[in-house]
Structures are given as C-alpha cells and as structure tokens.
Amino acid sequence: MEGNFERHGGLSDADYQAVLERLRTWASTHRRQSEQIIMIMGKSLTPHQFVHQIAEETEFGRSFLDYLRRQSEASVQTERPLRPQDFIDRAIQANR
C-alpha cells in the first residue's frame, strides 16, 4: 500500500483513542460481525479484523485514520463540522 502515513494518521492521541473506542462499539454491535464485509481484494476483513488494523496501526489502518482526519478537516468548511469520531458514531447509528 502506498503512502507514508503519520502516527495515528495525523490524529491527536485523544481523537485516536476516541475513534478506536467507537470502532470497537461499531464492531461489537455490527449485525455481520463475524462475516467478511470489508473487501480489500486479497485481504477481506470482518468488523473486528478491521478494528484490529486500526489498533495495530497497520498501513491500511493508518490510511483509514488519515482519511478520517481529512474528512474532519474538510467538514470545518461546512455548517456542521465533524470530529473524526463523529463519522464512527454515524456508522454505529446505522447498525441500529
């Protein structure tokens, strides 16, 4: 995977911990938690395996954190700025 992503994808320690905590909730409440749902052709992941990628800060995990940081920064220009963890909260809500 290309890219040299920063530690935590550039997120602060506090935001990283908040994202990780919410991702664990997302995985444990997912209706397909034991199924492979994240299809990276050659390395498909269950929700828990996805969280493991973030917790271990693999290259893929860091790319996701970097993505969250960029999306959060882009939202500052809008009427409703979002913290990185807010995107995960939305995913948790979608599981309900």
Partner 1 sequence: MAKNVLILATRYDAATARTFEWAEDLHRQMFRFADSCMLVDATALCRAGSSLNEAIQASTHVIFYGHGETDRWIALPGTGASSSLIDDQSVSILNGRNVYAGCCSSLAVLGGAFKKKCSGGEFIGYKDTFGFDDDNEYEFRRASNQSVINFVDGTPASRIVSDLKAEWTSLNNSFASGHLRKRPNAVQAGHLADLNSQRIATP
Residues at the contact surface with partner 1, assessed by CB under 8 A: 1-2, 32, 35-44, 50, 63-64, 67-68, 71, 74-75, 78, 87-88, 90-91, 93-95
Q: CB-based contacts of 22: which residues, under 8 Å, 6+ apart? A: 85, 88, 89, 92
CB of 14 to partner 1, least distance (A): 19
Round to whole Å and give the CA distance between 55 and 57: 5
CB of 1 to partner 1, least distance (A): 6
Round to whole Å and give the CA distance between 68 and 49: 18
Q: In the complex with partner 1, which residue's Cβ is closer, 4 or 93?
A: 93
